[in-house]
Structure 1
Amino acid sequence: MTILFAINPVSGGKDKTDTEQAIQTFCQQFNHTAHLLILTGQGDDLLLRDAIRTTKPDRVVAVGGDGTVKLVAEEVLGTNTPMGILPAGSANGLAFELGIPPTIDEALDVVVNGHTKLLDTICVDDADNCLHMSDIGMNAQLVNYYQQNNWRGKLGYARGALRVLLRHRLLKVSLKMGDEIIHRAAIMVVLANARGYGTGAVINPDGKLDDGVFEVVIVRRLSIWALLTMFWQHAPFDPKVVDIIPTQSVHITTRRKAYFQIDGEYQGRVTEVRAQIRPGQLPMMVPPS
C-alpha cells in the first residue's frame, strides 16, 4: 500500500521527529510505501495536491490537529481515496469523535486495517466545509481569544471561558429551516455534525457523522460552573437551556455582528451564515465497530 502522510511539524507544540520515525518503522515492517510531506504553513494546499497527484496514494493521512485534518479532508472530498488521522495536535475533535486511538501504532493500524466510512460535511456559505463543529457567539469568541493569546490546555481554556462569560452579550438570532423561522436570544448557536467538541464536551448527544443531517444547537444560557463542569467532566449541556433541531439546511441571521468559527478556526464577525449538509462526501478510515 502507498500512504501519503501530511505532517504538521509544529501542531500541539511538539517535535514530530519521533512520529516520523514511528511511521517509517511501521510501514517498513508491513511492506507499505510511506511518503512524508512536511507542511510549512505556506501554500500547503498546493503542496498536498501536487503530492497526491504524483504519488497516487491508497491513503492520505493527516498527522496533526484539526487544522491538518481539514487540509487533508478538503483534498479527498468526493474522491475514492480514503483519509486517515494520526492525532498529534492540541485539538483533535474529529479523531476523538471517531474513536481513533491516540497512540501512533494503534492509529496507523486503523489507517491500514480499519474500514472506510463515508462522512457527511456541512457546506458553509457555499465556500467552506465544516467537518465537525462550527458556532456563532460565545465559543467562537473564545476560539478567537485562544488564537490571539496562544493559550494552551485546560487552564488556558478556563481562563478564556471566564473572560468570555463575564463579557458576553445575548445574541438575537433568526433561523430559517425550510419554511420554518425561529427567533431566539442565545449565547451561541452551533452547527453540529457530531456529538461534541474535541475537549470531550457533549453538546449534541444524538449527533452522527453519517446520518444525512446536522443539528442546530441553540444554547440560551450557560453558567461558569456548568461550562467548566462540562469541559472537565464531559457532562452534557443542560437540556433545559438548549434547543437541538435536526436539519439539512439553515440560514442564520443576527441583529449585530457575532464571532464565528469553523472547526476551531476563527472566521471573523458575521451577521449571516448559510449551511447545508453534503451527505457521504468524506471517505475516512475508522476503527472496526
Structure 2
Amino acid sequence: MSKLSPIRFIINPTSGPRNKVDVAARINLLLDQTKYKPDIVYTTHAGHAPELAREAAEAGYEVVVAVGGDGTMNEVAKGLLHSDTALGILPRGSGNGLARHLQIPLQLDKAILALNNGVKSRIDSGSINGHPFFTTAGIGFDAYISSVFAGNKKRGLQTYVELILKEIRKYKHLPVTVTINGQSISTDCFVMAFANAAQYGNNAYIAPLADIRDGLLDVCLIRQLDFVKALNLSYCMLAKQLANADSAEYFKTTNVEIETEEPMMFHADGEFIGKAKQFEVQTLPLSLHVILPST
C-alpha cells in the first residue's frame, strides 16, 4: 500500500457565506483518502495562518490548503514561500482573486474534488515593503478602500461597490516620484496597482494582460480620476480590457521604487497594511508552488 501524502487544511472560521456549511465534514467526505491524509486546523487570531503553514512545510507536508478568502490565502501562502510545499485553495471569501485567476472552482465541493487530481505548478509572487502578495498590491485609493472595508461589518461585493461610490469623490490624488524601468516619473497618483495576477477579485481585471509566471509585475498607474474616466475604467475592468490611455497607464517591470510627499496607504491582496512615504515593490519569480485543477 502506498504511503498517504499529508495535507493540511487551514480554516478561517470567520470566512465564508452566512449559510455556514460544515467545511471539515465536506473535506472528510469528498477528499480522496486513499491518496491524502488530512489534517484540519483552525486559525484563532491574525497571523496564525502563516505559523500553521510554515509548521506544515517544515514537517514535510505535500500540500497546505487555505480555506477562506484572499486574506487567508495570503497568510497561508506567506508561510509556504520558497518551500516545496504547495498551496491549495478552497475559496470562501467575497473576492477570491487568486482562485479565480488559477481557475479553481468557487463551489466548495467542486474545489475539494479538484484537489484529488490536482497538478503541482509554480507561480510568481510579489513584495511591497517586505509584505508578500500573490494577486495585487497597491497604493492610493484602492488601499484606502481596503482600510475602510476592513472596519465594515458587512462584507461582499455590494458593500465594496457601495464604499467605492461613497468615497471616490472625497479621495484626492497625491504627488509621487516613481522609478520604473530606469526612468524617473514625477506625477499625481490616484491609484498605483501592482498586479501579479490579472484581477483584484470578483472578476474585476485591473491588469488583464498580467501573467502569473512571467517574472514581471504589471503596473497600472491612474494619475487622476474624474467621473468619465471612472466609468471607462470600471467598464474595462469588468470587460477584461485595458483602459483608455487617458484613464490609465500600464508598465511591465521587475521592481518599482516610489517616494511620496505625504504618507500614502498601501495594501497587499486587499488587506490594508498601513502608510508609508517610501515604497519598494518587486517580483519574486516562481517562488510559490500551487495546486491547479487538472484539465
The verdict on a shared fold, with TM-score over 0.5 as the criterion, is yes
State how far apart, in whole Å, the 1-side matches of 2:119 and 2:47 are: 31
Shift of residue 228, structure 1, vs aligned partner:
5.3
State how far apart, in whole Å, the 2-side matches of 1:105 and 1:13 are: 14
1:49 pairs, out of 49, 54, 77, with: 54
State how far apart, in whole Å, the 1-side matches of 2:46 and 2:193 are: 30
* Pairing of 1:1-289 with structure 2 (within 5 A): 1-14=5-18, 17-27=21-31, 30=34, 32-41=36-45, 44=48, 45-54=50-59, 56-125=60-129, 127-222=130-225, 223=227, 224-226=230-232, 229=235, 233-234=238-239, 236=241, 238-240=243-245, 241-289=247-295
- Percent of matched pairs sharing the same residue: 30
Shift of residue 221, structure 1, vs aligned partner:
3.5
State how far apart, in whole Å, the 1-side matches of 2:39 and 2:19 are: 19
1:185-227 residue CA offsets vs partner (Å, 9 max, x unmatched): 2311011111111021111121011101111210133435446
Residue 150 of structure 2 aligns with an amino acid whose one-letter code is: Q
Contact 1:191 1:217 in 2 (8 A): yes
State how far apart, in whole Å, the 1-side matches of 2:178 and 2:46 are: 37
Residue 70 of structure 1 aligns with an amino acid whose one-letter code is: N
- CA gap of 1:191–1:42, structure 2 versus 1, over 3 A, is closer
Shift of residue 238, structure 1, vs aligned partner:
2.3
Contact 1:9 1:16 in 2 (8 A): no
Larger mean Cα displacement after TM superposition, 128-137 or 45-54: 45-54
- TM-score of the superposition, structure 1-length normalised? 0.90
Contact 1:186 1:218 in 2 (8 A): yes
The 3-state SS of whatever aligns with 2:145 is helix
Residue 55 of structure 2 aligns with an amino acid whose one-letter code is: D
The 3-state SS of whatever aligns with 1:183 is strand
Query: What is the CA RMSD across the aligned residues, in angstroms?
Result: 2.2
- CA gap of 1:236–1:201, structure 2 versus 1, over 3 A, is farther
More helix by share: 1
State how far apart, in whole Å, the 2-side matches of 1:28 and 1:260 are: 40
- CA gap of 1:115–1:59, structure 2 versus 1, over 3 A, is same
State how far apart, in whole Å, the 2-side matches of 1:155 and 1:88 are: 16
The 3-state SS of whatever aligns with 1:151 is coil
Residue 51 of structure 2 aligns with an amino acid whose one-letter code is: L
State how far apart, in whole Å, the 2-side matches of 1:227 and 1:179 are: 27
Name stretches of at least 5 consecutive residues in structure 1 with no aligned partner.
none
Shift of residue 75, structure 1, vs aligned partner:
1.7
State how far apart, in whole Å, the 2-side matches of 1:23 and 1:156 are: 30
Larger mean Cα displacement after TM superposition, 153-162 or 96-105: 153-162
State how far apart, in whole Å, the 2-side matches of 1:191 and 1:269 are: 16
Residue 81 of structure 1 aligns with an amino acid whose one-letter code is: T
Shift of residue 51, structure 1, vs aligned partner:
4.5
Residue 201 of structure 1 aligns with an amino acid whose one-letter code is: A
Name stretches of at least 5 consecutive residues in structure 2 with no aligned partner.
none
The 3-state SS of whatever aligns with 1:210 is coil
State how far apart, in whole Å, the 2-side matches of 1:281 and 1:46 are: 18
Alignment length, in residue pairs? Answer: 286
1:49-71 residue CA offsets vs partner (Å, 9 max, x unmatched): 334545x3221111111111112
Residue 258 of structure 1 aligns with an amino acid whose one-letter code is: M
Shift of residue 28, structure 1, vs aligned partner:
5.7
Contact 1:171 1:188 in 2 (8 A): no
Contact 2:95 2:200 in 1 (8 A): no
Residue 128 of structure 2 aligns with an amino acid whose one-letter code is: V
State how far apart, in whole Å, the 2-side matches of 1:29 and 1:48 are: 21
